[in-house]
Amino acid sequence: MFRKPVLLAFASAFAAFSSQPAMAQEEAGEKVNMIIVYGEEACPATKGDEIVVCARKPEAERYRIPAPFRGGDPNSAVNTSWAEKARSFETVGQSGINSCSPVGINGASGCMAKLIHDAYAERKQPSDVHFGKAIEAERAKRAATIDATTAAEQARVEQIEKQYDERKAAEEAIKAAKVPAAPSDLPTPPPGN
């Protein structure tokens, strides 16, 4: 009874969370379609300038709550390691220079260092799916085909220009030879009318 509302809440939160990167990519001018496929499911083909990136997961994960949402709050004390708890005791009572506290002389000077340290620690955390890396790989693959596409288009344009020049030269040759026009098939009117 309790599980259905919780599952629905997690599913709606995941849907809202997963759609935000796609909207941000569309604002930049290119459409990026990030899809999670399960088991042996085929990844959809790209259409036009759209980039399609697929993350493959096992079939057993299809109807489960996404891994980042399982197990409750990752920041709760239950899920914190002993090493992290011991590290937090090192900063208890610190004040003054490089402490990132409102207490003491120049206490706020360490806040930027703390933010940078926290950002690097957050980056090291494993993620479930790395869409950013997959998008960059797809862009690199497309960039590799640009040179071949450009060379083919240039050859086609040069061929069209060559045909145009040949047609112009033939028209000029006809004008230069002053080929008499073919006699008209219409009868000439009688003189004096």
For 22, 66, 141, the CA distances from 12, given in Å and listed in that order, are 16, 12, 34
What is the per-residue pLDDT for 87?
A: 76
For 19, 43, 141, the CA distances from 131, given in Å and listed in that order, are 12, 14, 15
Question: Is pLDDT at 27 greater than 60 in this prediction?
Answer: no
pLDDT > 70 fraction of the chain, expressed in percent and rounded: 72
Residue that wins the pLDDT comparison between 133 and 88: 133
Question: Is pLDDT at 122 greater than 70 in this prediction?
Answer: yes
- Cα four-point dihedral sign 103, 106, 112, 114: negative
Q: Is the pTM of this model over 0.85?
A: no
Over residues 83-89, mean pLDDT: 77
Question: Is pLDDT at 182 greater than 70 in this prediction?
Answer: no
Tell me if 57 sits within 8 A of 38, measured CB to CB: yes
Q: What is the mean pLDDT of the chain?
A: 75
Over residues 40-67, mean pLDDT: 86
- Cα four-point dihedral sign 63, 67, 73, 76: positive
Rounded to a whole number of angstroms, the distance between the first and last alpha carbons of the chain is 107
Q: Which H or E element spans position 51?
A: strand 51-57
Residue that wins the pLDDT comparison between 167 and 106: 167
